[in-house]
Amino acid sequence: MKLRYLPLSFLILVTSHSVAQPKHGHAHEHGKGRLEISVDANQAIGKLKIPLEALVGFERAPKTEAESNAINTLNQKLQNPGSYFVANKDAECSPKLISSTIVRDQAGKHADLDYQFDLNCAKLASLKQLSIDLFAEYKRLKEIRVESVGPWGQKSVTAKRDSSTVRF
Ligand SMILES: [Zn+2]
């Protein structure tokens, strides 16, 4: 009897694979990033996505030594998320990098930084706010839409150059 189900499961496998095609087109707005923060009882994880243009001024693969250096410098700085994401002190957070990846579109014209970090807070229940200190260094960055999910529910706010601290 069991054998009769095999062709069906094979079909599902093939179908779900074909759904995973690369998305058509590319939608990002230069100067605007997006940060998702999810907080549960054990951890606070941040997922940041920023058009690369806002960070280094170009998005295609680097062509000159200066451009390669700009990417290397960016990568080095991103090793320490604690210099860009500062929580309220009593939460005792020391952010750790999870991953930092540059994702280019198929045409090689646009690219995003995909950046994930763990806020790594000793007193997670005290986490109330987060300062996003990317704006001072990256002048092309205009705003970051911050969407958070945590004990406070869901919240969506926009951090800007002149108001870069987000409260939960
Ligand atoms: Zn772009």
Q: How far is the CA of 59 from the centre of ligand 1 (A)?
A: 6
Confidence band of 111 (pLDDT split at 50, 70, 90): very high
Q: How far is the CA of 10 from the centre of ligand 1 (A)?
A: 39
Tens-place pLDDT, residues 61-108? 999 999 999 999 999 999 999 999 999 999 999 999 999 999 999 888
Exposed, middle or buried by CB within 10 Å (0-12, 13-18, 19+), for 89?
exposed
Tens-place pLDDT, residues 129-150? 999 999 999 999 999 999 999 9
Quick one: pLDDT at residue 15? 42
Q: How far is the CA of 50 from the centre of ligand 1 (A)?
A: 9
Q: How far is the CA of 153 from the centre of ligand 1 (A)?
A: 32
Q: How far is the CA of 8 from the centre of ligand 1 (A)?
A: 42
Q: How far is the CA of 142 from the centre of ligand 1 (A)?
A: 14
- CA nearest 93: which of 104, 105, 81? 81
Q: How far is the CA of 151 from the centre of ligand 1 (A)?
A: 34
Alpha-carbon span 111 to 141, nearest angstrom? 15
Quick one: pLDDT at residue 27? 76
Q: Residue 7 above 90 pLDDT?
A: no
Q: If you compute the radius of gyration of the chain from its CA atoms, what whole number of angstroms results? A: 19
Mean pLDDT, the chain, rounded, equals: 88
Q: How far is the CA of 28 from the centre of ligand 1 (A)?
A: 6
Alpha-carbon span 65 to 7, nearest angstrom? 54
